[in-house]
Structure 1
Amino acid sequence: MVNAWRFDIRALDGGLILMVMALVILGLVMVLSSSVAVSEVRFGHQWHYFQRQVFALGLGGLLAALVIMVPSESWLRHRGKWFLLGLVLLALVLIFGREIGGAKRWLPLVVMNFQPAEWMKIATILFLAGYLQRHQDAVKQDASAVMRLFLPFGIMAGLLLLQPDYGTTVLIAGVLVGMLFIAGAPFRYFVITVLPIGALLAALVINSPYRMARVMNFMDPWQDPYGVGYQLSQALMAIGSGGLTGSGLGASVQKLLYLPDAHTDFMFAVFAEETGWLGVVLLLSLYGLLLWRMFAIAQAAWMPEAPFKALVVYGIAIMFAGQILINVGVNLGVFPTKGLTLPFVSYGGSSLMMALLAIGLVLRIEYETRLSRSMAIAAPVQQEANPQGVL
């Protein structure tokens, strides 16, 4: 019998690791480039945000290494505890959290500020994957099995919106719908779930002046380019000025305190300005390869009687895809500003750490899938070589 906690690091998916490493290295370069001016003004030197990102990378790499050594069965068994931990952290941030830019989303820890919403994304995927495995037949036949999800996810959404964190709420709702669809829930259930969620989110926008201003801003930022449309208009100028080949690494003009949040939410605009559309195509192609590989891993891990592993990888892939789509869309003026980072590239310690943790989960599941397949192939061969079971 194979010990599930034993692990051969040489058996990891090298292609997936290389893609993530390429994105992380690119992210470090862009964090350094995009944050020099704001770091100099706020902290008196140019390295502040870069150093913090490197520190988060070290912690995230350690987390990923630990996660890789944990059997997926352990995540399945304790999924409820991880989800409850996420809810507790979301409640604590409302009480003890640090407020930045009118939002209370960060818990001040000894070495860094941690954003519990980033962990909540992972906890949601684990919890939902376990629920869908346990109730997979009911989800396909009984609407009440889907409706029961409203209580835990309603509490989570409420805590997120109190911060407020509208972007993460929308992203998790998208992951929820995507995982239900993959698990085989009938289309009519999506009407039951999506319409009320959509109506609630629309009502929150209409009844919130600052959210409504964001909607009107993205629809026509040039109406007030020096007021509410300033951030988006500066981002569009950065993207447009990049041209085909860009101004060169480190040569962005908009990062020189013209474009707010140039190293976080609007990193894509600075990247497009410095590398041009050729760089943008390269970045999006790298993301496309990463997502394709994760969907391939999920498909290989799919077991009709036990889909937990596959659903976890599908959920992580959907999470990354949604975050990339929203961030790039915000920078291009397609969506209102949501405050979501570009995975592995934008500045954000919590985001980078949890993204690497998620990759650790994917690598572990890919390893287990390949191991189980090789054992299944080897078993008949061993039986044929020793049909009588003679030692």
Structure 2
Amino acid sequence: MHLPVHLGGAGVTQTKAAPVRVLGFDQALLWVTVALLAWGLVMVYSASIAIGDNPRFARANYQETYFLMRHAFALVVAFVVALLSFQVPMRTWERAAPWLFVASIILLVLVLIPHIGRSVNGARRWIPLGFTNFQPSELAKLAMVMYAASYMVRKMEIKERFFRAVLPMGIAVVVVGMLLLAEPDMGAFMVIAVIAMGILFLGGVNARMFFVITVLVVVAFAMMVASSPWRRERIFAYLDPWSETNALGKGYQLSHSLIAIGRGEVFGVGLGGSVEKLHWLPEAHTDFLLAVIGEEFGLIGVLVAIVLFLWLTRRIMHIGRQAIALDRVFSGLVAQGIGVWIGFQTFINMGVNLGALPTKGLTLPLMSYGGSAIIMNMAALAIVLRIDYENRVLMRGGRV
């Protein structure tokens, strides 16, 4: 369209404006997520291909593609769940947040009931669904994000009062924590506690109150470690994984993880060339996937993974800050809570693999084998994309 502009009696015709394309959501965030999922699928196959030859799993009769096919199936289900999650407006998520939290509590109770929950290696964390197993603790992470964000929005006017604002949230975390420790799953409890603390802090809780909460949580975890002989053994093994006792005991996984990363050097031994995954490194396709990445892709591969997760976490937090700036506090806290979840769990997993933290059973988000984790991670990131989409609609003058 040409618009005539009159300047001092002279007619000037304005040139046609170039069309501006506004993207509906953050495509960079989407493609980084897809890249991590695809890389994870390849690495799960590489890390699990030899499990069928391990005498420990002779009765299971695993085929070479067993874990690959199950992981691929989980990705398909996760993609469908993510599409559905993206369609749900944030105001609906806000209304459903308390009910989602209640549902997660019920599932955490059900998993502890014999003949309902499935026990593996002494831990009762899964509910069999026939074609797969569901881990309620993964749903509890997303439910805690939603509930804590909703809670802070409802308690915004009294957030400076400890007993009226913070204590009820603390009770909710304690209830979830007791159920998780009964499984036991201390790793999931750590993540959920950090999510709740992070949202309280980002929601504007008084700094002194937050400091008190932090001290109480640290003391609680210290008491749990002190009261559990096998947790104490893990701490001591972490401090000296190369001693004869620890290298063959509680430090076995850590020592072989470090051997794998050391073998990779700078450029790695090549995809599929890992030796440690050949029955030496336990849980190579789950908790210690980064060690296999370090062995096959070297320092370069580990640094690429760190940069991708760092960018992902930073971008999620930015979307959350943008939502809060648009006066969408619930959406902003949800996005930032998901950022805390992904960032903290990644930090713990990488720290364990690199020997910087004591061994703890937490998977690498988006990459490690585990259907429930993949589905919940994808649902959470789809919600972040929904928040970004609604931010863009508002900034264009629309309504959500």
SS of the equivalent of 2:184 reads: coil
**Corresponding residue number in structure 2 for 1:243:** 265
Correspondence list, 1:182-201, <5 A: 182-201=202-221
Q: Equivalent of 2:393, from 339, 359, 371? A: 371
Task: After superposition, give the CA deviation of every residue in 1:27-83 in whole Å (9 maximum; x if it has no partner).
Answer: 000000000111444334200011100010011000000000000101101111000
**Corresponding residue number in structure 2 for 1:83:** 101
- State how far apart, in whole Å, the 2-side matches of 1:154 and 1:108 are: 26
**Corresponding residue number in structure 1 for 2:32:** 19
- State how far apart, in whole Å, the 2-side matches of 1:48 and 1:270 are: 18
Question: What count of residue pairs does the alignment treat as equivalent?
Answer: 369
For 1:157, the aligned partner's letter is G
Q: Equivalent of 1:282, from 279, 304, 319? A: 304
SS of the equivalent of 1:148 reads: helix
Indicate the structure (1 or 2) with the bigger Cα radius of gyration: 2
- State how far apart, in whole Å, the 2-side matches of 1:268 and 1:80 are: 35
TM-score (norm 1): 0.91
**Corresponding residue number in structure 1 for 2:286:** 264
Tell me, yes or no, if structure 1 residue 63 matches structure 2 residue 81: yes
SS of the equivalent of 1:285 reads: helix
More helix by share: 1
**Corresponding residue number in structure 1 for 2:225:** 205
Tell me, yes or no, if structure 1 residue 334 matches structure 2 residue 356: yes
What is the CA-CA distance between 1:12 and the residue it aligns to? 2.9
For 1:147, the aligned partner's letter is L
Correspondence list, 1:348-367, <5 A: 348-367=370-389
**Corresponding residue number in structure 1 for 2:320:** 298
Comparing 338-347 with 136-145, which one deviates more in the overlay? 136-145
Q: CA RMSD in A?
A: 1.6
Identity of aligned residues (%): 39
What is the CA-CA distance between 1:165 and the residue it aligns to? 0.6
Would the aligned equivalents of 2:162 and 2:209 in 1 still touch at CA under 8 Å?
A: no
TM-score (norm 2): 0.89
Q: Equivalent of 1:343, from 352, 355, 365? A: 365
What is the CA-CA distance between 1:109 and the residue it aligns to? 0.8
Query: Where does structure 2 lack aligned partners over 5 or more consecutive residues?
Result: 1-22
- State how far apart, in whole Å, the 2-side matches of 1:203 and 1:304 are: 42
**Corresponding residue number in structure 2 for 1:4:** none
- State how far apart, in whole Å, the 1-side matches of 2:131 and 2:307 are: 35
For 2:294, the aligned partner's letter is A
Task: After superposition, give the CA deviation of every residue in 1:282-338 in whole Å (9 maximum; x if it has no partner).
Answer: 111111121121112111111485400000000000000001100011111222222
Q: Equivalent of 2:149, from 129, 134, 141? A: 129
**Corresponding residue number in structure 2 for 1:3:** none
For 1:46, the aligned partner's letter is E
Would the aligned equivalents of 1:130 and 1:308 in 2 still touch at CA under 8 Å?
A: yes
- State how far apart, in whole Å, the 1-side matches of 2:51 and 2:202 are: 43
> Cα distance 1:319–1:52, how it changes in 2: closer, same or farther (>3 A)?
same
Tell me, yes or no, if structure 1 residue 28 matches structure 2 residue 41: yes
**Corresponding residue number in structure 1 for 2:16:** none
SS of the equivalent of 1:11 reads: coil
SS of the equivalent of 1:265 reads: coil
SS of the equivalent of 2:49 reads: helix
> Cα distance 1:341–1:44, how it changes in 2: closer, same or farther (>3 A)?
closer
**Corresponding residue number in structure 2 for 1:5:** none
For 2:339, the aligned partner's letter is A
- State how far apart, in whole Å, the 2-side matches of 1:140 and 1:353 are: 36
What is the CA-CA distance between 1:141 and the residue it aligns to? 4.5
